[in-house]
Structure 1
Amino acid sequence: MLMQSENSRTQFAIAILAIVAIIVHVTLRFGISAPESWLVVPLWVALVLGGIPLVWDLLIKLLHGEFGSDLLAGISIVTAAWLGEYLAGVLVVLMLSGGQTLESYAVRSASSVLEALSKRMPSVAHRKVGTQVDDVPLTEIGIGDDLIVFPHEVCPIDGTVTDGHGTMDESYLTGEPYMMSKAPGSTVLSGAINGEAALTIRADKLAGDSRYAQIMAVMQSSQQHRPRIRRLGDQLGAIYTPVAVSLAAAAWLISGDPIRFLAVLVVATPCPLLIAIPVAIIGSISLAAKRAIVIRDPTVLEKLDGCRTAIFDKTGTLTYGQPELIGSFVADGLDDHEVLSLVSSVERYSKHPLAEAVIRAGEQQGVASAQATQIVEKPGQGLFGTVAGKAVRITNRKTLLAEQPQLRESLPPPSAGLECVVLVGDVYAATYQFRDAPRREGASFIDHLGPMHKINRVMLLSGDRESEVRYLADQVGVTEIYADKSPEQKVEIVRQETKLADTLFVGDGINDAPALMAATVGIAFGQNSDVTTEAAGAVILDSSLQKVDELMHISRRMRRIALQSAVGGMGLSVIAMFVAAAGYLPPVAGAITQEVIDVLAVVNALRVAVNPGLLSDYESKPPAAGADTPASG
């Protein structure tokens, strides 16, 4: 980033030098009628101080095998100096340096979202040592340090609550639009906004390893990654450059005038390829970010519109990821409301998808909730907590039976949907059964993929039981399903499908990461998993199918405008090249003509960053009759 910044400043300085030299030259010629020997001095200064560094950089690229379209500009600068057409040479210097400066400006403009993230994060934390609280830089916070997060402050680091009860707004990071309750044992994320109560947390990660820092890294990589479509511009330039040089040489040979050689090269300088395509890509990244879509890999913008097979994970993609409690089986001798009260009191401190369903059920049934303490959520073992002196554990059937196989006869038959089992005081208390509702727009979205986006096949790929997967598929209109699949089986299916056609995979769980990487384009919902978002090419922060549709339209729009700018600019340049070859466009006039062409191409490319308004082209409609709908969301 530092080298890019220094190079940007250098290019800007060369562009300013070229402008000043041209102004001084014109003033000396027409303003004060200076001697002829004075007229070339400012132009020579610009060529020596600005032209030589630019040509040197192009030579370095050439030695490294980077035969790009900007080589024409270097040849033009050298030829202009050799033929004594100093003004034309300085105009080419201005075109090349000014174009690179414009690209750097576009990068900075597209980085506004990243800058907003950076400014939002606190630079200091309130470290507590005994009874003393001191403000220290984030870089000095170590793992295990105790920190105070005051009301309405942004949490500075990932950690665990050790003292205090309150809530935090994590929607900026997770996309979930609700406040998360916090108690001793609860995890907190850097970047979350604290609620009304002060919390004491223990730092679990260094600032550079925190969730917020990882999201920053994702945003930075999305802007630094050189996309394949830019290489397409270089490939076009590799064809365009020898054609231009050949035409210039032919004009020289036929006319016997080397000035025509220079005139053709000057007007052929391919700034539409050098600038317009990157500007279109960067503008699309910015547009996507404003719509809560983070482009990690800009090649997504090139590839997405060409995908012909769409593969969806089930939970959280074609469903809301908000299961509803549809059945409860309480052990004999226990009160249903009392058990639900204990469970909902503990679930308030969990991020598990079933937690919200339990809490909503408790609120709907009017059960009282109590303060929970000693909250622990161990991967694979479930959620532990203490409520009113009673130890409560919430886990799954498989884990429970592995530990206490004698309880097999006490459990109800497995349901087609999701379930959890509850133990109070290490004694089986209840089984809760859930069903995740299809997204309201799911059927409409699936229906429109074929006619509007040329998706030939739509598949549902899940690790859930076939009965649950089939139920969802019937609701949203998917006929091709794969159920009971492990992550390894998922990735193999995606690999096989990708051999047949470009694939789009949409998922939101950690076990989706390998499939996201195996697909041509991987899209992740939410920021709930570091692994998933690292594997995906794009991340939908505001989890909805409409955002997927918007991204598909952004991709199509970017390709269309980028090709318009590049091919249109090259076409105008070719016309001007023939005019110059015929002797009707001298070098200076050719340089001015090329500047006009550049402006037209770049202005057209900048259209991608303009908010086009509605980008979705399907209408949401209710799921099929009999489908469940979420109570909220």
Structure 2
Amino acid sequence: MLRAVRRLFGKHATILLILMAMAIAAALESSDNQTAAKWLLTIVAVGASVRPLWGMIDAIRHGGYGVNALAIIAIIAAVVQNEYWVAACLALLLVATVSLENYAKQRAAWALNKLTQNTPTKAHLLRGAHQKDVKPADIQPGDKLVVLAGEQVPVDGEILDGSSTLDESILTGNTDPAPRRAGEIVYAGTTNTENKTTVSALRTAADSHYRQNIRSIRAASKSYSPFARLAAKFSIPFSIVALVVAVVAWVVSGDSTRFLMVVSVASPSALLLGAPIAMSAGLSRAVQQGIIPKTAAALEQLAYTRAIAFGGNGTLTDKPLTIRDVQTFGKHTRQNVLQYAAALEAHANHTIASAIVEAAQEPDQSPRKAKQVKETIGQGIAGRLDGKTVLVGSAHFLDTHGISMPESFRPSSLRHTAALVAINDELAGVITLDSHIDPQCAPTLQRLHQLKTGETILLSSAPQANAEAIAQKLAVDQTLAECQTRDKIMAIEKSALHPLVFAGDSASDTPVLTASDIGIALGALSCQTPADSANVLVMEHSFAKLAEAVAIAKQTLRIAFTAVLFGTITSLLLIGVFATGQFHPLQAVALNAIITLLVVLYALRARKSRS
């Protein structure tokens, strides 16, 4: 009980002191001690204004806005006019507004608070046959750890022994159980729900995806969107208008009380609180879904999307690519072509490389290792193996290296995703692959059209026939096939539709994500995803989250705009009404408080889905 009282006084000490002073003043007035009540309320009002006044001055000195100017002017006017109850109520409103703003931002940023509060605090470190409890911060890459059932994974790691099911919802927003077995990756912050497992640490706790998420969300919550900044700027002309109306009402009527009433009812809270609180609430809702905008500006820009582009191979598939066929030339065999290609592709991070490496793997044999490997992102990879020069990539990539095609093969005849393999300047084989379109794609693209996001654009490295078949199946608006990385960048730069979103999921998408207005990295938990180049991270590889991100952005901006518009128009109308002098200043203060509360409560609606 005592702790709760201390916490209450610690957070709201000034509010409680003002309320106590008002209670004492009321008692003094009831005993006909008007002078003492007046001085008590005046001292309290002036004292409560000192800190906000210095804060306002400091903000102006650093290029900010004098957000408390009207409230402080109103308090001074009330004191001068001997309206000491009005002065005390204005001081209470001033301090309560700050507390309400802090409370609203904490409520809006609940997702960050949840992540912070659920940070892993202990780990079981294995040293030989002995187990020692340590802090996650003490763990180094390569350390062996035991994760018991019901415990959080302390750092990102690879399962060495055992299999289990994990709850990854704190990272991905997906509440479905995630089965994990030996050789698979587990992530810090997730919960082991079934069996004891042994894990080898891959990163330190500070470098885990969990801690990176906390840093990204914290930075985003502290940032301001362009709309929030614009609304804050308009608080200055709003305050000037209120002051002009107040002075005119005073001069015309000769009644200084009208000045007090106008500045008391004028509330710039809608301009100052509505937008940032709504954006913060929208960020929290996105994080709950495993979608992490790195800045508030990125979330706002998503709402204005006029075109969405995406790659083909990994972005639209729900299963790994599989080898469809291996066409060989000369004396080369199927396994020979696969092994040479896999020796190079083992150095790459994309879906085609993974499929080739897996297909070439033979039981009880270590994969062969190529030397002098050099990858050209989005085109191909070159290296040496067994003293031979090996190239793996597109027909264009081989052509740039002077590889001529045999008469029996035409690259234009390809109907599926393919990787060409050249050994010692001759085409050795063509590996074609099958992709499995994610069933989420069609309804996701339909939802994007319903959200009025403009055109959908498929930028595929696949052959023309394959890309067109995918585009027709998914009803994509525009298709560009056989795209190299530079072709994708040129298509984005030449597009007349901006802001343009590009969703990618592999290292080859890095320069494309950078070139787009908004880059979205799908599957950000994967090491293949170029998270550093993206503006928005989708933690799991889910194409459906693309539409969810846009929906959240649009709803958040709509709520922010409505909150600002409602509060501003209502305040302007009340300024005109109270300029007539037909009301009491205390009524002006009460309506000011009601407007502020309504704006904050409405802005917090961005935390919840419209449905």
TM superposition score category, shorter chain reference: 0.7 to 0.9
Shift of 1:61: 1.5
Provide the rounded CA distance (Å) in 2 between the counterparts of 1:170 and 1:610.
23
1:199 aligns with 2:198: yes
Equivalent residue number for residue 438 of structure 1: 437
CA distance in 2, matches of 1:99, 1:353: 53
The whole-number CA distance in structure 2 between the counterparts of 1:489 and 1:12 is 59
Closer, same or farther: CA 455–290 of 1 in aligned 2, 3 Å: closer
The SS at the match of 2:313 is: helix
Return closer, same or farther for 1:271/1:192 CA change in 2, 3 Å cut-off. Answer: closer
Residues 586 and 64 of structure 1: CA distance in aligned 2, closer, same or farther (over 3 Å): farther
Distance 1:609 1:109 in 2: 9
Shift of 1:44: 3.1
Whether contact under 8 Å (1:218, 1:534) holds in the other structure is no
Question: Residues 168 and 182 of structure 1 are in contact (CA less than 8 Å); yes or no, is this contact kept in structure 2?
Answer: no
CA contact (8 A) 2:157 2:199 kept: no
Counterparts of 1:556 and 1:406, CA distance in 2:
49
Q: Deviations over 1:27-52 (max 9, x none)?
A: 443xx434012212442343243211
Question: Which residue matches 1:53?
Answer: 51
2:21 is aligned to 21
8 Å CA contact 2:108, 2:277 repeated in 1: no
Query: How do residues 107-506 of structure 1 correspond to structure 2 at under 5 angstroms?
Result: 107-144=105-142, 146-152=143-149, 153-159=151-157, 164=161, 166=163, 169=166, 171-172=168-169, 173=171, 178-183=178-183, 188-193=186-191, 196-201=195-200, 203-320=201-318, 322-327=320-325, 353=351, 389-392=364-367, 402-403=384-385, 404=388, 416-418=415-417, 433-446=432-445, 449-450=448-449, 452-497=450-495, 501-506=498-503
Give the aligned residue type for 1:164.
D
Is the CA contact (8 Å cut-off) linking 2:125 and 2:146 kept in structure 1? no
Contact 1:394 1:421 in 2 (8 A): no
User: In the alignment, is the contact (CA less than 8 A) between 1:276 and 1:565 conserved in 2?
Assistant: yes
Change (3 A) 1:159 1:66: same
User: What percentage of aligned pairs have identical amino acids?
Assistant: 25
2:522 to 522, 525, 529: 525
Taking only aligned residues, the RMSD between alpha carbons, in angstroms, comes to 4.2
Aligned to 1:77: 75
Give the Cα–Cα distance (whole angstroms) in 1 for the partners of residues 567 and 459 of structure 2: 44
Any gaps of 5 or more consecutive residues in structure 2?
A: 1-7, 339-344, 393-404, 422-427
1:329 Cα deviation (Å)?
Answer: 7.2
| Aligned-pair CA distance for 1:168 | 6.5
Whichever residue aligns with residue 508 of structure 1, its letter is D
The C-alpha deviation readout for 1:537-585, integer Å capped at 9, x for no partner, is 3333454444333333332322322222222222221222122221113
* CA positional deviation for 1:321: 5.3
Aligned to 1:589: 587
Match of 1:390, SS state, is: coil
User: In structure 1, what residue type is equivalent to 2:236?
Assistant: A
8 Å Cα contact 2:509-2:530 kept in structure 1: yes
Distance 1:592 1:432 in 2: 74
Separation in structure 2 between the aligned mates of residue 147 and residue 267 of structure 1, nearest angstrom: 64
| C-alpha contact (below 8 Å) 1:11/1:100 kept by paired residues | no
Contact 1:266 1:591 survives alignment (8 Å) = yes
Deviations 1:147-167 (A, max 9, x none): 322343433223456x53545
Counterpart secondary structure, 1:315:
coil
TM-score w.r.t. length of structure 2 = 0.78
Amino acid of the residue matched to residue 567 of structure 2? G
Letter in 1 for 2:72: G
Deviation at residue 244 of structure 1 after TM alignment:
0.7
The amino acid across from 1:150 in the alignment is: V
Quick one: distance in 1 between partners of 2:546 and 2:594? Answer: 37
Shift of residue 241, structure 1, vs aligned partner = 1.3
Q: Deviation per CA, 1:390-420, whole angstroms, max 9, x where unpaired? A: 334599996588534589999x978644468
- Give the distance between the partners of 1:516 and 1:16, measured in 2 at CA: 52
Q: Deviations over 1:471-513 (max 9, x none)?
A: 3223222353334444455344434437x53222222223334
Tell me the amino acid that sits aligned with residue 243 of structure 1. Answer: V
Are the equivalent residues in 2 in contact too, given 1:170–1:189 (CA < 8 A)? no
CA distance in 1, matches of 2:477, 2:610: 34
CA distance in 1, matches of 2:502, 2:279: 22
Shift in CA distance, 444/189, structure 1 to aligned 2, threshold 3 Å: closer
Give the distance between the partners of 1:107 and 1:512, measured in 2 at CA: 35
Contact 2:53 2:68 in 1 (8 A): no
